[in-house]
């Protein structure tokens, strides 16, 4: 059976269940970064933390780019936190991706190293 036929059957099954139970069916929306903060700790250490909202938080990963380049999983409550070593000033961007690679809007902050 083709992927399209399987997908259509799944879609019809979801709609039928929703109509039968009277419950709303929610699409799998992209994750949303609801907060993003950068705080200087000491020396070259910076704390990057925030929260993400999504229907399936267990599958969300947060990707950093710019002066910090890494990816981390989020906690069960949607929070994320990392301490990073930053040696040059610049922008750090963060994007959250869900299990089907839908991306949140990019959030950014500027790190000023003196």
Average pLDDT of the segment spanning 32-41: 98
Angle at 62 between CA 111 and CA 30, to 5 degrees: 120
State what percent of residues in the chain have pLDDT above 90. Answer: 75
Of the two residues 5 and 69, the one the predictor is more confident about is 69
Task: Kindly tell me if the per-residue pLDDT of 29 is higher than 60.
Answer: yes
The pTM score is 0.75
Q: Rounded CA gap, 31 and 83, in Å?
A: 22
């Amino acid at each position: 059976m083709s992927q399209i036929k399987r997908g259509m059957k799944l879609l019809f099954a979801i709609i039928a269940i929703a109509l039968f139970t009277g419950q709303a069916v929610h699409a799998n929306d992209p994750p949303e970064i609801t907060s993003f903060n950068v705080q200087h700790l000491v020396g070259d250490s910076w704390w990057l933390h925030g929260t993400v909202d999504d229907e399936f938080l267990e599958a969300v990963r947060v990707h950093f780019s710019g002066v910090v380049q890494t990816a981390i999983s989020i906690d069960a409550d949607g929070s994320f936190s990392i301490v990073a070593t930053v040696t040059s000033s610049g922008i750090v961007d963060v994007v959250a991706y869900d299990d089907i690679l839908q991306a949140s809007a990019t959030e950014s902050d500027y790190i000023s190293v003196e």
